[in-house]
């Protein structure tokens, strides 16, 4: 992607910001809140339209906030000291070490060798690989594009059958299962997708605290069911050309031989990851912050040589995320502190007299989900719509944790809809194994399946957990 400015898109972003700035300010809203809202909306519009890279847009937003004296320099830079922001950066470093050591590929090939004797088993092997990697790799692009996709392409070349049509159907099935698997696993862990901590941060601005363990526990049952059911649905709607795939386990075993014996770095990586996940799960009990635990894990990787400082410095996606994520968290925080969210909630509450929170929350969630047809990024969608939709849900009386978690889960699941809905989609679609019509048709059906599972079975599970 070019880093040169795109004048037309930049003009659109500036125009949106000026339009909000010029709108009549309600008397009950602080002038600084209104100005910051305009800057925030323009920044989010910039993240969607991409006239510049996301990090550059964030720096411009900070400069405008300071230049217009909407924020002091201390306020404008406060996001860079946010714990959730550093959690994301640390998770990127851990993911880099995971991929560098080759442990991710070894896990994938081991699962394929064990369960890949049938096409359905092979699909589940890819999903299981993604599930194992998800807690430690916050980029679904790194998982699906960096680990799963190369293995998928290798399997595609060894797909059984001399008939190209049969091989094509098998490859289409595996591609769709791999993609929808990563969409579901992204929803199951706070650290499985880069926008998840953003959702947590935006929820925190409205007084809702979501821990790593609570997220994982709430997502465990509906997520597990989705991981089992969705591949079966795809198997029915897009059946593979072959039922058995004897070549896949053999190819996986050959690949494992090529990787050689497990290395010291892989053992250290695995041990550090197991300890980290344990601390994340037990964090509230033992009194250790999740970000502190992640930074300690990064320190262990650096001290053992599994990750070098040069490796960390080269993680462009991590540092780019650090800039835009810190900026969005900062702006969202001060928009709330300056009183805009409270005013907005009051206005919304008066517009829905007598509407129960349950139908209201379901309706809001469905609108939030299917509006993703208009987004090419989970992060952009969360940045634009999560906070206001959560505010509306709270105004209707929805239980805070339930509303925040449901919207957070849907902030991943809605990526199933299109071939551009999240970064891994163009990578897997670009393989050419699935036609555009099939991708959208399967995406629409899978969206209904996932919504049904998470709103019905998930709701029952959340009731057991006491979330409502």
pLDDT digits (tens, 9 = 90+) for 376-428: 778 888 988 898 899 889 988 999 999 999 999 999 999 999 888 887 888 88
Residue range 360-382: mean pLDDT, rounded: 88
pLDDT digits over 145-172, tens only?
Answer: 777 887 777 777 665 555 677 778 888 9
Claim to verify: residue 115 and residue 229 sit in the same structural domain:
yes
Residue position matching structure tokens 């410095």:
313
d(CA 102, CA 334) in angstroms, rounded, equals: 42
Claim to verify: residue 23 and residue 48 sit in the same structural domain:
yes
Span of 104-118, 154-168, 275-289, 334-348 with lowest mean pLDDT: 154-168
313, 328, 356 — which closes off a domain? 313
The tokens describing 177, both together, are: 């299962």
Residue range 345-354: mean pLDDT, rounded: 70
277, 297, 313 — which closes off a domain? 313
Claim to verify: residue 238 and residue 298 sit in the same structural domain:
yes
d(CA 392, CA 246) in angstroms, rounded, equals: 53
The tokens describing 362, both together, are: 């379901």
Provide the phi-psi class of 311: left if phi over 0, else alpha when psi is between -120 and 50, else beta.
alpha
**Residue 366 placed within a domain:** no
pLDDT of 106 > 50? The answer is yes
**Residue 306 placed within a domain:** yes
Query: Taking the mean position of all CA atoms in its chain, how far away is CA 201?
Result: 14
**pLDDT > 70: percent of the chain:** 96
- In 3D space, the residue among 449, 45, 100, 25 whose CA is nearest the CA of residue 306 turns out to be 100
Phi, psi of 273 (to 5 degrees): -65, -40
d(CA 311, CA 60) in angstroms, rounded, equals: 28
Say how many residues make up the chain: 468
Phi, psi of 53 (to 5 degrees): -55, 155
Claim to verify: residue 321 and residue 284 sit in the same structural domain:
no
d(CA 152, CA 159) in angstroms, rounded, equals: 10
**Residue 303 placed within a domain:** yes
Phi, psi of 244 (to 5 degrees): -105, 145
- Confidence (pLDDT) at 3: 66
d(CA 215, CA 236) in angstroms, rounded, equals: 31
Claim to verify: residue 12 and residue 159 sit in the same structural domain:
no
What are the residues whose beta carbons fall under 8 Å from the beta carbon of 213, sequence distance 6 or more?
280, 281, 282, 283, 284
Claim to verify: residue 229 and residue 201 sit in the same structural domain:
yes
Claim to verify: residue 105 and residue 17 sit in the same structural domain:
no
pLDDT of 246 > 90? The answer is no
> Where would I find the H helices in 189-289?
195-204, 212-237, 247-259, 264-286
- Confidence (pLDDT) at 35: 94
CB neighbours of residue 78 within 10 Å: 16
d(CA 9, CA 451) in angstroms, rounded, equals: 34
Please state, in angstroms and as integers, the Cα–Cα distance from residue 402 to each residue in 365, 405, 455, following that order. 11, 5, 11
Phi, psi of 263 (to 5 degrees): -90, 170
d(CA 227, CA 292) in angstroms, rounded, equals: 31
Claim to verify: residue 224 and residue 145 sit in the same structural domain:
yes
245, 280, 313 — which closes off a domain? 313
Q: Residue 329 in contact with residue 374, Cβ under 8 Å?
A: no
**Residue 11 placed within a domain:** yes
> Where would I find the H helices in 23-117?
31-49, 54-67, 73-76, 83-101, 103-115
CB pairs under 8 A, 24+ apart, for 14-19?
14/42, 16/41, 16/42, 16/45, 17/41, 17/42, 17/45, 17/64
Claim to verify: residue 173 and residue 321 sit in the same structural domain:
no
- In 3D space, the residue among 87, 108, 238 whose CA is nearest the CA of residue 174 turns out to be 238
Average pLDDT, the chain: 88
- Confidence (pLDDT) at 160: 55
Claim to verify: residue 16 and residue 135 sit in the same structural domain:
no
Q: Domain limits at 252?
A: 83-313
- Confidence (pLDDT) at 1: 44
**Residue 295 placed within a domain:** yes
Span of 3-17, 30-44, 328-342 with lowest mean pLDDT: 328-342
**Residue 165 placed within a domain:** yes
User: What's 433's DSSP letter?
Assistant: S
With residue 445 as reference, give the H or E element that holds it: helix 436-452
**Residue 350 placed within a domain:** no
Claim to verify: residue 203 and residue 324 sit in the same structural domain:
no
Q: How many domains, in total, are found in the chain?
A: 2
What are the residues whose beta carbons fall under 8 Å from the beta carbon of 6, sequence distance 6 or more?
50, 51, 52
pLDDT digits over 267-293, tens only?
Answer: 999 899 889 888 888 877 787 888 888
- Confidence (pLDDT) at 407: 97
Claim to verify: residue 67 and residue 140 sit in the same structural domain:
no
**Residue 434 placed within a domain:** no
d(CA 100, CA 330) in angstroms, rounded, equals: 32
């Amino acid at each position: 992607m070019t880093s040169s400015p795109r004048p037309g898109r930049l003009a659109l972003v500036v125009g949106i910001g000026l339009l909000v700035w010029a709108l009549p300010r309600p008397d009950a809203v602080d002038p600084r809140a209104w100005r910051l809202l305009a800057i925030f909306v323009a920044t989010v519009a910039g993240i969607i339209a991409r006239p510049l890279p996301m990090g550059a847009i964030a720096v411009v937003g900070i400069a405008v906030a300071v230049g217009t004296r909407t924020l002091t320099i201390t306020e404008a830079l406060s996001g860079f000291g946010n714990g959730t922001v550093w959690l994301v950066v640390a998770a990127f470093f851990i993911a880099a070490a995971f991929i560098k050591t080759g442990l991710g590929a070894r896990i994938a090939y081991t699962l394929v060798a064990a369960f890949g004797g049938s096409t359905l088993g092979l699909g589940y092997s890819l999903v299981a690989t993604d599930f194992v990697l998800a807690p430690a790799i916050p980029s679904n692009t790194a998982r699906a594009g960096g680990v799963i996709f190369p293995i998928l392409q290798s399997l595609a070349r060894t797909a059984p059958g001399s008939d190209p049509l049969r091989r094509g159907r098998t490859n289409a099935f595996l591609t769709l299962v791999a993609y929808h698997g990563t969409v579901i696993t992204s929803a199951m862990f706070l650290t499985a997708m880069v926008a998840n901590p953003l959702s947590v941060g935006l929820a925190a601005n409205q007084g809702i605290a979501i821990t790593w363990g609570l997220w994982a526990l709430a997502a465990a049952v509906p997520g597990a069911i989705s991981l089992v059911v969705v591949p079966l649905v795809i198997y029915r709607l897009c059946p593979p050309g072959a039922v058995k795939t004897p070549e896949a386990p053999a190819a996986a075993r050959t690949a494992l031989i090529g990787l050689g014996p497990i290395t010291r770095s892989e053992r250290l990586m695995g041990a550090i990851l197991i300890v980290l996940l344990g601390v994340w799960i037990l964090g509230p009990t033992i009194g250790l912050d999740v970000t502190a635990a992640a930074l300690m894990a990064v320190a262990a990787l650096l001290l053992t040589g599994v990750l070098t400082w040069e490796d960390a410095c080269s993680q462009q996606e991590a540092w780019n995320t650090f800039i835009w994520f810190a900026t969005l968290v900062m702006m969202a925080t001060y928009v709330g502190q300056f009183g805009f969210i409270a005013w907005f909630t009051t206005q919304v509450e008066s517009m829905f007299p007598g509407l129960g929170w349950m139908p209201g929350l379901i309706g809001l969630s469905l609108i939030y989900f299917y509006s993703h047809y208009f987004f090419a990024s989970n992060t952009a969608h969360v940045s634009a719509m999560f906070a206001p939709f959560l505010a509306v849900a709270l105004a209707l009386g929805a239980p805070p944790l339930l509303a925040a978690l449901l919207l957070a889960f849907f902030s991943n699941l809605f990526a199933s809809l299109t071939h551009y809905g999240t970064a891994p989609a163009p990578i897997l679609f670009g393989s050419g194994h699935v036609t555009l019509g099939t991708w959208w048709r399967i995406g629409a059906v899978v969206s209904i399946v996932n919504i049904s599972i998470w709103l019905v079975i998930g709701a029952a599970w959340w009731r057991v957990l006491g979330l409502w």
